[in-house]
Amino acid sequence: MEPGAAWSAYQAGHLLVRDWLAALPADVMALPSVLPSWTVRHLAAHLALVAKSVARLTEAPRGERPLTIARYVARYAAAAEMINIETRALADAAEPVAAMDKRSAAAAETMHRLGGGDPVVAAGRGPIRLSDFLVTRCIEIAVHADDLARSVPGIERPVPPPETERFAARALLDALAETAVGVFAQCAARLDVRVDQHAPADPFAPHPGADR
């Protein structure tokens, strides 16, 4: 899989959720979210940190063995408290939509710097292929768009673009098959989407002539 497709899917989902958040009445940001102890503002700040995680990427040292998506995402639990602290700090320090814009621009600069290949990158939870890391960002968008929709009932829900949901759903199903860890089943169940719902194309299929 080429990173460009996952990057485009992530960008499209990020922009859709960003615009949805920007259109909310100001007082909605202070409402409690469906995530314990987080407000809607915290969720928005967390999505800014998702963009920041792309901006921070560097190529991993030669010889680093990349984690699979399943093993990368499985490391989130150990970092939960740090993620909570960083999210709260950003929510207190900046307007979330502006923070999303700033970090999204920085992420685009990093993607340009990394070039057009699929290197192993040093990401927040360990080494991982760039393409796989970007798929984890699609998962973040898809899952937290659902969180936002459930946190603000009565407003048209933010539905990520089909390509964002396809990448997220396929990755979660693959992770479930690889590890049988309950967290992946829970995330997959929350995505109201089948892998083939929007189009027959498999985003993970290699391009013609690509090494298998």
How sure is the predictor about 163, in pLDDT bands with cuts at 50, 70 and 90? very high
Residue type, 35: L
| The pLDDT of residue 212 | 31
Average pLDDT estimate for 52-71: 95
Average pLDDT estimate for 154-167: 94
How sure is the predictor about 184, in pLDDT bands with cuts at 50, 70 and 90? low
pLDDT tens digit string along 11-54?
999 999 999 999 999 899 999 999 999 999 999 999 999 999 99
Distance between CA 76 and CA 194 in Å, rounded? Answer: 25
Q: Is the pLDDT of residue 55 over 90?
A: yes
Contact assessment for residue 31 and residue 41, using Cβ atoms and an 8 Å cutoff: no
Average pLDDT estimate for 85-105: 96
| The pLDDT of residue 171 | 87
| The pLDDT of residue 176 | 76
Query: Does pTM surpass 0.85?
Result: no
| The pLDDT of residue 98 | 97
Identify which has the larger pLDDT, 203 or 56. 56
- Helices (DSSP H) in the chain: which residue ranges? 3-22, 40-55, 69-73, 80-93, 96-114, 130-151, 162-179, 182-190
